[in-house]
Amino acid sequence: MKKILVAALTALAVTAAVPAFAADMPVKGKKAVVATPSPWDVAFGTALTTDYIFRGISQSARRPAVQGYFEGRYTVNDMVQLYAGVWGSSLWTGLANAEFDIYGGARFTVGNFGLDVGYLYYYYPEAVLPNSLAGLIQGKSNVNFGEVYAKPSYKFNDWLTIGGQVMGGGDFGNTGMSAWYYAGNVAVTLPSLLPYSIATTISAEIGRQTYSGGYKALPGVFVPNVAGGIADYTTWNVGVAFAYKAMTLDLRYYDTNIDITSNPTQCATGTTFTSDACKSAFVATLKFDTTFSSLK
């Protein structure tokens, strides 16, 4: 009887051990499936700023502006990303009620070096030129124009990045005048000392806006650009940004070396021709930026 009981217990133990052992055996013909990230993505964001400043000159008559963008992206590989998008801002200049920037290009990354190249078209729906300029540009109210751009950057380490940009073209503001902007910038990310992992970055930029050629007056007739009070100038800005997840608060100081006495219309705020647009300014901007892939 004892032998029968021992045999039964032994058989039961072997039977219980078989499934565990079988589970550890490799199964032929089956492989782990790893999801491949989609190369497509969409970035979008909104912003509220106390003053929309473009290359040192206010585009919102020193008033707040609401902004936003939508950008489609396609990642070819680790080094190349293609993109196209639309950015928009409200205006208070009297020239137009809004500005839309339609753009597209490619971003290249090789190690710590980055290069962004593309084309941007500035569109001002239902723009109305001041009477003093309406006849100067072939009697048109269309001030839409495009620029090509190249923006190189180099990340030395986790806290220091330097960069630059070249933007411009041969038909600034639909005037037939050539205009180019050259700038250099630097960004320093400070050690994380604030609560909630808020990242702090100090950045600065200095740029030079240049003009050449003249205004289109009549077909085949050009007026020297000094007639419009347009002259080359230097602009700069410095500020600090606080980022928490998708939110960023940017506090920034802007200024230029434009001589508003000799070039009053260059600092014109839309149709009012006041010189306020070129004065130094402190601007606060609250931004929200994210992508569809980060929301999954």
Give Cα separations from 43 to 72, 201, 280 (angstroms).
6, 22, 32
CB atoms within 10 A of CB 99: 24
pLDDT score of 22: 38
We find that the CATH architecture of domain 39-295 is Beta Barrel (2.40)
Q: What is the pLDDT at residue 275?
A: 59
pLDDT tens sequence across 32-89: 666 788 999 999 999 999 999 999 999 888 899 999 999 999 999 999 999 999 999 9
**Is-contact 242 272, C-beta < 8 A?**
no
Structure tokens at 241: 């940004």
**What pLDDT, on the 0 to 100 scale, is given for residue 56?**
93
Domain ranges of the chain: 39-295
C-alpha dihedral over 225, 229, 230, 231, to 10 degrees? 100
Q: Find all residues with CB under 8 Å of 106, minimum gap 6, and list them.
A: 80, 81, 82, 83, 116, 117, 118
Give the Cα separation of 220 and 218 in Å (integer): 6
Beta strands in the chain (DSSP E): 40-49, 53-54, 57-58, 65-75, 80-90, 98-110, 113-123, 145-155, 160-172, 177-189, 199-212, 214-218, 221-224, 233-244, 247-256, 281-291
pLDDT value at residue 132: 44
- Give the mean pLDDT per block of 10 residues along the chain (296 residues): 43 41 46 78 98 92 94 97 98 83 98 98 80 46 88 97 97 84 98 90 97 61 49 94 97 90 63 68 97 90
CB 204 within 8 A of CB 185: yes
